[in-house]
Structure 1
Amino acid sequence: MLGSLNIFKMTKARMDWLAERQEVLAENIANANTPRYLPRDLKAPDFKEVLAGTTAVPVNAVATNAKHIVPAQAPDPFKTVVQRKAFESTPDGNAVILEEQMAKLGESSTAYNTSAALFQKYQKMIRMAVGGR
């Protein structure tokens, strides 16, 4: 029941994107000493598309028989990674700025906690409206 409401779909999509972004940022931090490494970040979801319901839901084919060719998986919508041009880099070409990456991690953590709290509030509100506790 709750999964069919748009507010829950949007909150879940936001939390999924934030979790995926945290993995990318952690990879940037882990490669802070790797020569010629450029930091990456995920493309933010377009809020207008989410509201309009135009975001594509990936449909994956399934092999129903062991003799079938294994189908290629649809690309993950969160894997759209953009590279930015770094204006600061070390002599070995590494462009990771740890302070910037840590700030982005903190921002993602705060946004995730806010989304989780919003999800819980709406869930409580619906339970109260239905008559449950």
Structure 2
Amino acid sequence: MEPVNLFDLATRQSQWLAVRQSAIASNIANANTPGYTANDVEPFEKVLDRTAVTLKATEAGHLGAEATNAGFNVKPEEATGSIMPSKNTVVLEDELMKAGEVRRSFELNTAIVKAFHSMMTMVVKS
């Protein structure tokens, strides 16, 4: 097994999160554009699959547990019984949920990097 550079992994995730945040912002900006199709990026796990890094759960439920969005999965045409006049696929509630996930992931990424940076500086000072 090769060593994993945590800072490189955190950088990759930050870059991926920035791209996803841009896609979500574009979806929200085009919510009223007729015929616009909502976009998203591939999951970060698939990005990692193309590299030598694999994620392992130390306990059941640590990885793969996603926040539920009960009540927000309903498509606009199902909720109202008719197709939206704009005929686009953007559901603002879903996009806002995704934006919240991205924000939380950025915060977690930053906290982990900060903690490991503190540990590294303590080791170097010793």
Query: Distance in 1 between the 2:122 and 2:49 partners?
Result: 30
Instruction: Give the deviation of 1:125 after TM superposition.
Output: 0.5
| 2:30 pairs with 1:34 | no
Matched, 1:98 2:97: no
Structure 2: which 5+ runs fail to align? 54-74, 77-82
**TM alignment of 1:1-133, pairs within 5 A:** 6-45=5-44, 46=46, 47-50=48-51, 52=52, 88=76, 90-131=84-125
Whose strand proportion is higher, 1 or 2? 1
User: What is the distance in 1 between the residues matched to 2:9 and 2:113?
Assistant: 10
Q: TM-score, normalised by structure 1?
A: 0.65
- Structure 1 segments of 4+ aligned residues over 2 angstroms from their partners: 45-50
Across the two proteins, how many residue pairs are aligned to each other?
A: 97
User: Counterpart amino acid of 1:43?
Assistant: E
CA offsets 1:26-75 (integer angstroms, 9 cap, x no match):
0000000000001000112333444x16xxxxxxxxxxxxxxxxxxxxxx
Q: Which amino acid aligns with 1:17?
A: W
RMSD: 2.4
Task: In structure 1, list runs of 5 or more residues that go unmatched.
Answer: 54-86
